[in-house]
Amino acid sequence: MPLPPTLTDREILAARGPKEPVDPWQPIAAFVEPERQADGRVLDVATIFLANRECPFRCMYCDLWRHTLDEPTPAGAIPRQIEIALERLPPASVVKLYNSGNFFDAAAIPPLDWPAIADRVRRFERVVVENHPLLTDERALRFREQLGTPLEVAMGLETAHPDVLSRMNKRMTLDDFARAARFLVEHDIAVRAFVLLRPPFLSEDEGIEWALKSIQFAFDCGATCVSVIATRAGNGAMDRLQSEGWFASPKLSSLEQVLAAGIESGGGRVFADTWDVARFADCPQCAAARVERLRQMNLSQTILPQVICDCGREDRLA
């Protein structure tokens, strides 16, 4: 069955609901949680979600636009948001500056603010930012020089399925991702990759297969860790695809299976994004315990015993 054409920017925008009000002088959210590091330590990581200008790439699956500005971020706003977040948070060893888009997009994070940003975060063992592969270049090196502490760049691979990737309006190819990853690795900047579990146009079994292929592709490109995210509806465009039969949310059991197989592959750290994943469980009785198992597997990078439940489900494959 042939795949449908890619939704255009106009169609994706037309399918959206309203944005949430955003104050450019306040972070969207911030929290501290443990994360396993490449050397095996489990450290507390501060994650700060920054308010800034919306990403210019209209990826079909993205819902991060809800908490973004329509205009460029005011000068001085990002350093102030970081100050506010760090004042509220308990101590941490690593910091993630996530901005619902691209750290090296000048309209989102003004380069004139880089020195002030670096002053606020260089005390951390490592700083993680997120960025689109097409915007990953010498700008990362210039920021790293100002930072004075190890930098890691998180990039969305989403899927190694070339046809599906081309239809998700991400505006990149697998070669683009590989080029950006190689550039970072060659300059001693760590690479983190995001992979979608069951993006549009794939069945449940295909979603599992391609998530594992995508994890391997990311490791082959030099990534040291991969975060697997269950694809969701709710952003407008995905709801349209769901109504047309081109998308269905993955099962929690599929995330369990992918995490276990990813860890077993030994290519690097594999994390399951556990935010709100209980919604994908068929059984409410064992959902919380299964999500906790995923969290513990994230931290230990070992495959833990399955959760036993009297629900009698046969789709727990991990």
Q: For the chain, which residues score pLDDT lower than 50?
A: 314-318
Distance of CA 244 to the CA centre of its chain: 26
Domain boundaries along the sequence of the chain: 9-300
pLDDT at 3: 65
Provide the greatest CA pair distance for the chain: 58
Answer yes or no: are the C-beta atoms of 300 and 36 closer than 8 Å.
yes
Domain topology for 9-300: TIM Barrel (3.20.20)
pLDDT at 233: 96
pLDDT at 311: 83
Nearest to 214 by CA among 158, 131, 273: 158
pLDDT at 313: 54
pLDDT at 318: 44
pLDDT at 6: 82
Q: How many angstroms separate the CA atoms of 145 and 124, rounded?
A: 15
- Assigned token pair, 140: 């990362």
- In one-letter notation, the amino acid at residue 99 is N
Total Cβ atoms within 10 A of residue 20? 10
pLDDT at 159: 98
| pLDDT tens track for 54-74 | 999 999 999 999 999 999 999
